[in-house]
Amino acid sequence: MKEFDDSVDLRSIQQYLYCPHRFGLMENNCSWAENVFVNRGNLAHERVTEGKYSASRGTIQERSVRVFQDEWGLFGVLDCLELKKDKNGVEIPIYSGKYTVSIVEYKVTAPKNNQIRIEDRMQLLGQKICVDSLFSCHADTYFYYHDTRRREKIEFSEEDYSFLKQTLTEIREIKQKGIIPPIRNDQYCSGCSMKDICLPPKRSQR
């Protein structure tokens, strides 16, 4: 019998927290649909991750960086890993020197009223857990908003780590049991690419 693979893709964190029902459809029903928001996001990501590497004045940017962390069972791809020369930073042998490490996750639009969505925060925390482990560092974490050309630093608390741990348990349960969770009462559906697959017409007007 095939063993259950309990590793979790960083993207799944974002997808599950956005809508558990949608995640279940994608994971266990092989459903997928794109819409203008998905395509806009993909295009923005393609643009920013063009060119794997750049370096200027002591700062190196690696794009589309693959990462993992075994104890948390996480893997995935970062938009951008930024290394700044710093004698107090961590040794990065491949670039022979010491650097401070930052993760930059690109988003198409800045959140309204500065309310960063939990799914985006938790995806970024998953990235940080991978990078901190791989480089033995405490990476800084940022969102970069394409529409405002602004970068925002994000901090995480112990509660965030606990919440992510619980989220990963829920994701694994859905994958292992092949569950499609019910639609949440307070689910926000605006912009979801899978409305036509999952909702009766009345609710899809939301």
Interaction site with ligand SF4 (CB under 6 A) = 19, 21-22, 183, 187, 189, 192, 194-195, 198-199
DSSP state of 110: P
From the CB of 15, what's the least distance to ligand SF4, in Å? 10
Q: Which two tokens stand for residue 156?
A: 């995480």
Dist. CA 60–CA 78, nearest whole Å? 15
DSSP 131: H
- Cβ 107 to ligand SF4, closest distance in Å? 18
Count of C-beta atoms within a 10 Å radius of residue 110: 17
If the CB atoms of residues 37 and 156 are measured against ligand SF4, the closer one turns out to be: 37
Which residues, in sequence order, are CB contacts of 49 under 8 Å at separation 6+?
63, 64, 79, 80, 106
- Least Å from the CB of residue 96 to ligand SF4: 47
C-beta closer to ligand SF4: residue 132 or 170: 170
Measured from the CB atom, is 134 or 179 closer to ligand SF4? 179
Of 33 and 110, the one with the shorter C-beta distance to ligand SF4 is 33
